[in-house]
Each structure stands twice: as structure tokens, then as C-alpha cells.
Amino acid sequence: MENHLSASCLDSLPSTQVCSTECSSIDFGFHVSDDKDVLDGLLSQDHGELCQRVLCLEKKVQQQEDEIICLKSALADVIRRLGQVEATKAQSSSALPSKPNFRGTPTRRAEKAYSSPLDNAHITPNKRPTTPTHRSAASPRTNTPSKKWSSMSNSLDSSTLHRDGSRDPEWRAAQLKEEGYVKIYLRGRAINLYAPTSVENVDVTSVADPPSEKLQLEWVYGYRGRDCRSNLYYLSTGEIIYFAAAAVVLHNVEENTQRHYLGHTDDVKCLAIHPDQVRVATGQVAGHDQKEGKRKAGKKDIPDADKDHWPHVRIWDTMNLNTLHVIGIGDFDKAVSCLSFSRLDGGNQLVVVDDANDHVMSVWDLSKSHPKKITETKSSTEPVLAAEFHPLEKGNIITCGKGQISFWTLEGGSLAKKTGIFDKHDKPKFVLCVAFAENGDVISGDSNGNIFIWPKGNNRISKAIEGVHEGGIFSVCVMKDGTLLSGGGKDRKIVQFDSSYTKTGVETEIPENFGGVRMLNQGKGGMVLVGTTRNCILQGTVDLQLNPIVQGHMDELWGLASHPSQHQFMTSGSDKQVHMWDSMSRSVVWSKELSDPAHSCSFYPDASVVAIGTETGRWLVLDCETHEIVTSHTDGNEQIECALYSPDGKYLALGSRDNHIYIYEVTEGGKKYSRIGKCSGHSSFVTHLDWSTDGVYLCSNSGDYEVLYWKVPACKQETSISAVRDLEWATGNCTLTFNAAGVWPEGADGTDVNNVCRSNNKKILASADDFGKVNLYQYPCCQPKAKKHVYKGHSSHVTNVSFLFDDSRLLSTGGRDMSIMQWQVV
């Protein structure tokens, strides 16, 4: 769970620990301001390795101080438990354990020391009248409150057994009347998930079947224009093709339909169209489990199961979406940054540049049934942004990037390089794009806003058009009628030139809310396609109007809420944008820009207003009709992790990263809010909330795997087992409950499941995990190793999932892939 970081121990930790915790909140998807001269994520490439080193150092610091945190947490837990024992020692009734036993702090992608949290689940049944002979001799207990919680020493012993995998799941005889729970272990911590009293037995040896329902990807909202180029084309089928996350989208604008190629396992980084307009090549970055390429292992060292997670290129058919070839596994480092088909020989060759330190360029022969690498060479130590075969000169390849434009010749199985000479012209910091005129001239656009013309077969400039744009030129495109279009990233302008490179006087400026130009391409007829730096796609004509056909978020995305009675949903992200979407028209209904980055959202029961939590501790309420702010409040100065209205709309609960849950009374139809209390008891940030159907009880999870219950409006912790175990819950958002115990995967460290959502008909349960997958289970899902349906498409951690009000569709949001995926339930 990349976005979640515990803030519970900051005040008590050593300064080094505080530093480590703060470092882990850095957004390593490095943002480049619109005022920079590149604006497109190039600095992210320059600093990528540095960020990885920081992460490694952070993990080492975390491991070194793990024991300190364990001792502090354990001591606090013991003190609290002793106080509760003294307060209740005269009572015979049992109480809910308010805190799991600690053995470390949750960290993202920590080393998995355990085989599975549920492989070794300890399940204790509800008490039924039995004779003493039915008790387990393996774990004798006395009927005392202290034994009921399991002392720290006992929990450490049992977690060690589970870590070693020496104890299989078993249903054990009851010792206390109120007991009946599944005990799971996450990073060595025991979490008791209490079953309803109606559950008398759980057969842990059986495996629950997957649900009969399945998911089918219907729509992908978003486009990766913020930091990728050469990613938008028009196909002969009438579809436009682009990518978002790990999905390649074929979008028919007129019919409002999409098809999706889902062969990739992580971020798609580049796209090339074969001259036959049928075949497509797409390159991806390293998968979640692999960050390097051949420099770490040879091809023979790569297990078959891991090959799809290495950087590679897929060549596939756009008609039937079948994969034709997979090339480069073990040959590329980190990512495939750019690629291109040859033109003169009918696309029999493919040039690929990877993201290694030396940006290795390789050429592949595609004429045979099995593609073969012809040659490779180190192209540059600086980033390479584009590589293109010349359309009129066989074997000629042009590359451009940071401080360079190079002209390559493929002869005799080797590549010869000539560097572009700028003569009297200022050498730009970046050559950002290239295109080819009908006569074979190479046209380049650079970060100084200049266009240079390089004659066919020459590496010297023949003509310079300076000052075309203020800031960088991110794309140049030669249209079918011979005119040239240039697109500016900073000034957001599109300027038209005739075939002799003279301005025609026709230009347009893209509205600021759509961002600057990322990619220009020929659309249907005389129309132009424009991809923008704010992850939008526009279509139209330069002299008339450009209309949005794709919109999306442009920063990390966590907030997701489904409309309670319509086929609509809302998203809110770190880009300060709030979008209301319609799942039937697959478009934005309305948008609102906030002053703070947003993180969570929740609809009022009648959907007249929506509450939005931000990353600054501020939360606000928007009127869904006027889109104006109804009210605004601030609770603490840390992120509002989750927000949820009670089923009757009487209360609003806000879970904060400051470890508290703030409760507000709601009146006047969602227009007036009065704080009535604060639920204090969690020792880490609040991650999930669920209301009981009567709106009296609240269940909460936290970053250190606590499961607590609260009574509202008193805002007091409910510690009685019998008071909460048979409650009916209006929602199913908490990842740590008895009915969701089976969603934790093998080797889970507690951060691997970011969110769950129960369908409204209570038949299926969806989970969002840290591996880019959406998973579908039967509900309830309380058995170890429950079978599931797994769906890929996201490339980053999936941050949230939500069913529409009628369960016809499931929505999922990606974190750093910034995409929203709409799945039809079939």
C-alpha cells in the first residue's frame, strides 16, 4: 500500500526513524513543472536510479530499527492490556482484543518471511457445550481475561511457529464462551477476526470455489501523456490506438466502444504501427518482481514463470488481438523506451532502444517466423526519446534525445553513427521529436522552441525556424496534405506550416485544463489527434475546434465512490481534480479543481452532496448539482485516509492519518456538519471504515492491522465481543474482517491488499492488490486459499475498487498509473 505510511510512532521514534518514514512518502514518479523546459518527466529518468538507491537505504534503516519499534509497541500494548485486565478482572464476560501483537512495522514490499498469512491460520470455534475431553491439549487455557487476549510471550511463540510453517490450519476446540475466530498472521502479528455466532465450524482443509460471476474489461479511462511520447495513432479500422497503465486501448470514437490488448504485465512505455496498419509493437517496463534486464541474468537464468515480467516487446495483431511475437526477454534493461518499424522493406525490421545506462539500441529481423536480433550497440549515456527508420532511405535510423540527434546507418550487420551538427545554431538541451517530410527531409523539434530541417542523407541543418514556440516542441507531424503541425508543451499552441515550412497563419491554443501538446497525429479525414500532458486526447481541426474524447487524472489516484442510485461514480486524486463520471456514456459529467490534493470521497445517501478528504487534513462537501463547496472543515494536519456517511446519513466518519476517526453529525440534508466527537485508540493511521446497517457501530482498520469497533455518537471503543460479532454491516470496505480473511495472498505483509468491496447483493467480494491485479471472490470469503478470478490491466498498485449500485459493473483505480478501469460483471 504505497500511499499509506504509519504516523503513530513519529513522536516517540528516534530521529532516524522519523526521517525514514518521511522519506517513504516521496512521490518517486517525479513531477516536472510546466515552467521547466521539458515538462515531460525527463528528470524522472535522470533521477530514477537515485530514487531507487534512496528506497534501498530506507529499507535498511527500517530493518535496523524494526526491533526498537517492536519493543515500544509491545510495551504500550502490555500497559494497555494490564489496565483493561485490572478494570475488568471482576467480570466474567470476555472483551474484544483491541490490538494485534506486534513484531515489526508494516513496510511496503518488505521481505516476505512467511509462507502465507492463511497457510498457517489458527481458527478457534464458537463455544458449544462440550466435555473436558474435547479440549485441545496442545493449548490449555484457564478461564481468565489475560489468557483470552494471548499474552505477548504466547503471541511471539505462536508467530514464530507460523513463520516457520510448522503448524497447519486447524479448527480447534473452544475454551471460552465468546470465542470463535480466525487468527491470521501478517508479518508475525496475530490478528483475531471474530466469526458470527452462527458459524460453528470451518473446514480449513477445503478450498472455496471462485464465484460464478466474472469480470470483463469494458472501458479504460485515461491516457499516458504526462511522460510518454509517440503514443497516439489512427488505425485503418477507424480506431485510435493509445495506452494507459498495462493496457493498450483501441478506441472507436464514433461507436463509443473500446477493445483492449492486455498482454503486458506492467506499464506500456512505447508504441509503433507496422506499415500494414494491422500489426503493432508495444514495449513495456520491468514488472513488479523484476527491475533489471540482461545485466543481472542471462536468458537461460530466467524462469519461464518470470519471463513476462522482464522488459520486452510484444508484436500483436489489431484485428484479433492475438500476440504474434514476444522479443527481447533478457536483452533489455529496465524498460523499452522507444521503437519503430522499418518502412521501405515493408516492416521487416524493428529498432528498439532500452532504458539502460548506455541506452542500448538493437535491430531485429522480423521476416522469419522467429524474430532474430541483427545487431546492437550503445547509443548514448543520455536519455533517448525517439528512434525512427527513415521512410525513404533503407537502413537509415534517426534517434534524438538529451543534447543529441544522431543519424545511423545499418550496413553489414553493424550500425554506424553520425552525430547531427548544429553549426551556428544554439545546441538545444533536448531534441524532443522528429518527423519526415514527403521529400525525405528530417524535421526536428527541440526544447528551445525551434524547428530544424535536416536534408535527406545529411547531418547538417539546411533550414532553421526559430522561436516557433515558447518552450519545448513536443511533437511535429506531417499531415497527408503536406502541411506541417508543431505542438508546444509550455505555450499549448499548435502552429501550422505549409510544405515549404512557411507559417500559414493558422494556429490554435489548447485550453489550460487539458495541458500542453504531447503528441500530434493524423486523424480521420482532415482531423488531427492531440494527446496532452494532462492525460487527455482531443480531436478536431486546427482552424476550428478541438474537442476532448478522452480525459483522465494526471497524478496518483485513490479516491473512488459509486453513486448510490445512478450509473455514475466519482474519483478524486492528488492532481487536485474531482471528476464525476457516467459509466453508460463513459465520459466526464462534470469536474472540479480543488485547492488541495484529494485522497478520499463518499456520497451522501441521496447523492445530493459528496464529502471529499484531502491530503492536508482539510475536508469539504460539494453540492452535486451546483458543484460548489457547501462547507469546509479541517481536522488535524494529516491526510484524510477514508470518509464514509452512515446509511441513514445522520453521521459522517473521517479516518485520518493522525490515528483518529472524526465523527460529525449531519443535518439539513447534508448541508450542515457539527463535530460530536473523536474516536481515539488506534496506534497507527486509519485505513478503512464500515458502518453497521443501523448506523450505531463503526468498524475500523489501521496501518498496523488493528481491528477496532466504536459506538456512535458516544465515540467510545466497543470491547464486548457479543455486542459486535453478529452485527449486519452496510458496507464491506475493511480488509481485516472475518468475511474477508481469505483475500490475503501468499506471503502477504499486510500492505498487499489495499482495498476490498462487497457487492450490494452480498454475493461477491472484489479486492485491489499491490501487484496491479483486481481479484474476485465468493462472499463471504473466510477460508484460507480461497480460489479467485484474477484480472490484469493496471500497472501500478490498484488503490480502490467499488461496485455500482446495481452490481452491474465494478470500478477500479490505479495508483501511479492514474487510470480508471470499468469492468462489466458477467
Q: What is the average pLDDT across 553-557? A: 95
Helix axes 48-64 and 15-23, enclosed angle (nearest 10): 140
Q: What is the average pLDDT across 637-651? A: 97
The CB density around residue 636, as the number of other CB atoms within 10 Å, is 18
Compute the distance between CA of residue 344 and CA of residue 347 in angstroms, rounded to an integer. 7
Which tens digits make up the pLDDT trace of 782-809?
887 799 999 999 998 999 999 999 999 9
Q: What is the average pLDDT across 324-330? A: 94
Which tens digits make up the pLDDT trace of 732-761?
999 999 999 999 876 677 888 999 999 999
Query: Which amino acid would we find at residue 282?
Result: T
Q: What is the average pLDDT across 67-82? A: 69
Q: What is the average pLDDT across 648-654? A: 97
User: What secondary structure letter does DSSP report for 317?
Assistant: E
Compute the distance between CA of residue 463 and CA of residue 484 in angstroms, rounded to an integer. 14
Residue 355: pLDDT over 50: yes
Q: Binning pLDDT at 50, 70 and 90, where does residue 307 land?
A: confident
End-to-end CA distance of the chain: 29
| The three cell numbers locating residue 104 | 515489526
As a whole number, the mean pLDDT across the chain is 83
Which of 53-57, 88-92, 474-478, 798-802 is least confident?
Answer: 88-92
Q: What is the average pLDDT across 463-482? A: 96
Residues 402 and 382 sit within 8 Å (Cβ to Cβ): yes
Q: How do 517-522 and 537-540 pair as beta strands?
A: unpaired
Report the pLDDT value the prediction gives residue 45, as an integer from 0 to 100: 53
Whose CA is closest to 93, among 727, 818, 719?
719
Residue 547: pLDDT over 70: yes
Residues 349 and 339 sit within 8 Å (Cβ to Cβ): no
Contacts of 175 (CB under 8 A, 6+ apart): 124, 127, 135, 139, 141, 143, 147
Contacts of 57 (CB under 8 A, 6+ apart): none
Sheet holding 396-401, edge to edge: 384-389, 396-401, 404-411, 414-419
Report the pLDDT value the prediction gives residue 51, as an integer from 0 to 100: 67
Residue 82: pLDDT over 80: no
Write down the H helix ranges in 731-811.
none
Q: Binning pLDDT at 50, 70 and 90, where does residue 173 land?
A: very low
Report the pLDDT value the prediction gives residue 146, as an integer from 0 to 100: 30
Residue 28: pLDDT over 60: no
Query: Which amino acid would we find at residue 80?
Result: R
What DSSP string describes 748-785? --SSSEEEEEE-TTSSEEEEEETTSEEEEEESS--STT
Residue 607: pLDDT over 70: yes
Report the pLDDT value the prediction gives residue 501, as an integer from 0 to 100: 96
507 three-class SS: strand
Residues 336 and 284 sit within 8 Å (Cβ to Cβ): yes
Which tens digits make up the pLDDT trace of 495-531?
999 999 999 999 999 999 999 999 999 998 889 999 9
Q: Compute the C-alpha angle 435/272/361, nearest 5°.
A: 80
Report the pLDDT value the prediction gives residue 130, as an integer from 0 to 100: 37
Residues 8 and 703 sit within 8 Å (Cβ to Cβ): yes
Contacts of 320 (CB under 8 A, 6+ apart): none
Q: Binning pLDDT at 50, 70 and 90, where does residue 107 land?
A: very low
Residue 780: pLDDT over 90: yes
Residues 687 and 701 sit within 8 Å (Cβ to Cβ): yes
Which tens digits make up the pLDDT trace of 119-136?
434 444 444 433 333 333
User: What secondary structure letter does DSSP report for 449?
Assistant: S
Report the pLDDT value the prediction gives residue 41, as an integer from 0 to 100: 58
SS (H, E, C) 690-750: EEECCCCEEEEEECCCCEEEEECCCCEECCEHHHHCCCCECCCCCCCCHHHHHHCCCCCCC
